[in-house]
Amino acid sequence: MANVQSAIITPVLAAGSTANPYLYSINITQKLCSPACADNPPVFVPQYSVVGISSLGGNMYVATVRVQGLISYVPCGKTSCCAKTQPLSQTFTIPFVSETAPLNVEVTIVGSVVNEIATSACQSCSRTFVSETPLSVNIVTEAATAGN
């Protein structure tokens, strides 16, 4: 597969999510190699894992998270026997504040992943794949584990 563009991954803190664990909506926008029909959304079952935590100074930190999976879709004008797959494996960051140095950050999908093909008005096909994942981000600190 030649020159697959990187996805645009945007974590958005859910309104009202003010205490640990935090709820984020992870928006992934990926250009597909071939146009796909908007009425036949791709199948994408993402897996998320934390690959690192970095201090930004003070009580500000950033978690580096990897998302990976296969985007399976049917190109426009093709039958289901000609489905294509496009891998996605990319890291992104989620900033957070913690009064105590974090030992670990745990991420968990907490709802349904929604996959769509984004099209302009009057178009039935597009190369723009969009996925939304509700993700719980739990900051584990020494204080949180002391009683266990």
Write the DSSP string, 54-96: EEEETTEEEEEEEEEEEEEE-BTT--GGG-EEEEEEEEEEEEE
What does the buried/exposed string (b/e) look like for 101-114 if buried means 16 or more CB atoms within 10 Å of the residue's CB?
Answer: ebeebebeeeeebe
Structural contact between residues 42 and 114, judged by C-beta atoms closer than 8 angstroms: no
**Chain segment 55-91, per-residue pLDDT in tens:** 999 999 999 999 999 999 988 876 556 778 999 999 9
pLDDT value at position 78? 62
- Supply 107's token pair: 């991420």
- pTM for this model (two decimals): 0.86
The span from the CA of 91 to the CA of 29, in Å, is 14
pLDDT band at 93 (very low <50, low <70, confident <90, very high): very high
Burial of 34 (0-12, 13-18, 19+ CB in 10 A): middle
Question: What would the mean pLDDT of 7-22 be, rounded to a whole number?
Answer: 92
- Asked whether residue 11 carries a pLDDT value surpassing 80, the answer given is yes
E strand map for the chain:
8-13, 22-37, 43-44, 47-57, 60-73, 84-97, 102-109, 114-118, 125-141
Which comes out higher in pLDDT, residue 143 or 148? 143
The span from the CA of 114 to the CA of 48, in Å, is 15
Domains of the chain: which residue ranges? 8-145
Question: What would the mean pLDDT of 118-141 be, rounded to a whole number?
Answer: 91
* % the chain with pLDDT above 90: 68
Question: What would the mean pLDDT of 15-35 be, rounded to a whole number?
Answer: 93
- Supply 106's token pair: 């745990």
Question: What would the mean pLDDT of 26-37 be, rounded to a whole number?
Answer: 94
